[in-house]
Amino acid sequence: EVKRSGRGSVHNYDKMLLTEQERRLSVTQALRRALSADEFYIEYQPVIDATRGDIIAYEALLRWNSAVLGTVPPDEFIPIAEESALIVDIGEWCMRCACQTLHDHTEIPVTTKIAINVSIRQIVMPNFPDMVSRILTETGLASNRLVLEVTESIFEKRQTSQISAVLDHLHAMEVGIHIDDFGTGYSSLSRLHEIHVDAVKIDKSFVLSMDENARVVIEAAILIAHRFGLKVIAEGIETPQQRAELRAMGVDAYQGYFFARPGQLPCRDIHWQTDPDLPA
Ligand code: C2E
Ligand code: MG
Ligand code: MG
Ligand code: MG
């Protein structure tokens, strides 16, 4: 086997040193076959209501176990799938699988929702709302149990009027829209109330650091979101201190390892009971 060396960050793979570019190429090639080879599965992480302490939703998080590359984290393969347009088919598979799974778990209350991450690439597909409604019909899941998480990049795109028309359509279908990773990108705050958004998810980087700057961003995000009538979800909560502080700031819902790691449905061991501040 040839040992190749490259500049920048190198990944050790099969005793070969791959450059970043070579790694991307092998990920792209393996991704092309991943769907038909049935290499994807989904983990579910609960979202917990801040006042009642119950599970209000599960977020579907895509996992890839490649026969060639082993486990590849979503932060690595999602951007590559987005670049190559493979995200359209992968995203459709993920939505169908998650909707079916939630629907089939009849012990889960019908008020519990499923949150799916959706890429811009999918939203701007001409038939995106039709695809969503076909999945809801096929799986039997009520449309008001589906939430789509989109990032702030919807504000950067040139196709904003097209995107807001799609969000209008989804809203009319009673599908929820959440802005994911809020605070990390460019958000047109004035337009936050022009488009149909139900909640913002404060990015985990702010929750994890929780320094002075992060507090300012979180407080501002909560103020703006609440003034516009949106709910606020905080992700990445790992400690009881973070939870207590976010509760004091007025966050509506929590997500993070402190409560539960992503796993299989249904989630049976929520750790919030160990927190004396939470309702019994
Ligand atoms: P995200 O949507 O912001 O998802 C939250 C991420 O934070 C997940 O990482 C989750 O496992 C992680 N997380 C949750 N609680 C904690 C915590 O307490 N501490 C820390 N350090 N991390 C926590 P994951 O599963 O690696 O997903 C990464 C990103 O990949 C997601 O970020 C999302 O942007 C993307 N992604 C995942 N599945 C899909 C998908 O089906 N479609 C699309 N388009 N993107 C996806
Ligand atoms: Mg998300
Ligand atoms: Mg997020
Ligand atoms: Mg994220």
pLDDT of 69-121, one tens digit each?
A: 999 999 999 999 999 999 999 999 999 999 999 999 999 999 999 999 999 99
DSSP labels, 172-208 = HTT-EEEEEEETSS---GGGGGTS---EEEE-HHHHH
Band of residue 195 on the pLDDT scale cut at 50, 70, 90: confident
Span of 22-26, 28-32, 54-58, 184-188 with lowest mean pLDDT: 184-188
* Arithmetic mean of pLDDT over the chain: 90
CA distance 6 to 18: 7
Amino acid occupying residue 227? R
Contact 176, 197 (CB under 8 A): no
Q: Identify the band that residue 254 occupies on the pLDDT scale cut at 50, 70 and 90.
A: very high
Alpha helices in the chain (DSSP H): 20-34, 74-83, 87-104, 120-123, 128-139, 160-172, 204-209, 212-227, 240-249
Contact between 43 and 264 under an 8 Å Cβ cutoff? The reply is yes
CA of 196 to the centre of ligand 3 (A): 19
Interface predicted TM-score (ipTM): 0.97
pLDDT at 18 over 80: no
Query: What is the reported pLDDT for 189?
Result: 74
Peptide bond into 266 cis (omega under 30): yes
Q: Which residues pair with 11 in a beta bridge?
A: 18
Atom of ligand 1 nearest to the CA of 149: 2
Per-position b or e across 63-102, b if 16+ CB within 10 A of its CB = bbebeebeebeeeebbebbbebebbbebbbbbbbbbbbbb
Residue type (1 letter), 46: P
- Residues having C-beta closer than 5 Å to ion ligand 3: 180-181
Question: For a substitution probing ligand 1, which of 39, 41, 61 has the most ligand atoms within 8 Å of its CB?
Answer: 61
Ligand nearest the Cα atom of residue 256: 1
- The residues that bridge with 40 in the sheet, in sequence order, are 64
List, for residues 48-60, the tens digit of each pLDDT value.
999 999 999 999 9
pTM: 0.92
Higher pLDDT, 277 or 2: 277
Residue type, 140: G
Ligand 1: centre distance to CA 2 (Å): 35
Give which of 200, 228, 234, 226 is closest to 49, Cα–Cα: 234
Spatial separation of the C-alpha atoms in residues 205 and 184, rounded to whole Å: 8
Cβ atoms of 166 and 193 within 8 Å: the answer is no
Backbone angles phi, psi at 245, to 5 degrees: -65, -40
Average pLDDT over residues 230-244: 97
Task: Indicate whether 5 pLDDT > 50.
Answer: no
* Cβ atoms 188, 155 nearer than 8 A: yes
φ, ψ at 180 (rounded to 5°):
-90, 160
Helix, strand counts (H, E) of the chain: 9, 11
Which residue is closest in CA terms to ligand 1's atom 42?
A: 117
Q: What is the DSSP letter of 267?
A: P
- Ligand 1 — pocket residues by CB below 6 A? 45, 61-62, 73-75, 78, 87, 91, 94, 117-119, 149, 180-181, 204, 235-238, 255-257, 262
Instruction: Please report the pLDDT score of residue 3 as a whole number.
Output: 42
**Residue 155 pLDDT:** 84
